């Protein structure tokens, strides 16, 4: 039985269909992230910067007069949230990254004030009949 790695902004319930396939099992991989692309450089063009503290990190990637901002974290337990609720995303990111060092406060403002940003969770999804095994 195959398992599929899926990033989703909403919790997938059993018996849901994704990518045209029926999945009845999901396994939270313990990782969430938020991403935005802004129309200015925060670091030099064609560079990437990473910063990490235990269970959380920030990545910047600059190209074509844009910067990707990625905040990633490992919550203590799976977080339930509405993938359409930007206020809820803002609260989750603010709580998860409160007090983090480096340029965290500055980058958090950039991320949360971007035209569009989203919060996502990473799962393995399995189809019926695999007896719960994962690769």
**pLDDT tens string 69-101:** 999 999 999 998 888 899 999 999 999 999 999
Which two tokens mark 135?
């690769």
Neighbours of 98 (CB within 10 A): 10
Tokens of 61: 């990637």
| pLDDT for position 11 | 42
Enter the CATH code of domain 32-121. Answer: 3.30.9.30
């Amino acid at each position: 039985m195959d398992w599929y790695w899926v990033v989703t902004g909403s919790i997938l319930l059993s018996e849901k269909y994704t990518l045209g396939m029926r999945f009845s099992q999901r396994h939270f991989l313990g990782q969430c992230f938020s991403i935005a692309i802004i129309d200015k450089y925060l670091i030099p063009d064609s560079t990437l910067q990473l910063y990490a503290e235990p269970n959380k990190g920030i990545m910047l990637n600059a190209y074509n007069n844009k910067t990707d901002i990625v905040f990633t974290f490992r919550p203590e337990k799976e977080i339930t949230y509405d993938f359409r609720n930007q206020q809820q995303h803002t609260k989750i990111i603010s709580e998860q990254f409160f007090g983090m060092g480096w340029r965290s406060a500055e980058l958090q403002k950039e991320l949360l004030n971007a035209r569009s940003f989203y919060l996502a969770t990473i799962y393995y999804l399995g189809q019926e009949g695999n007896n719960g095994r994962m690769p």
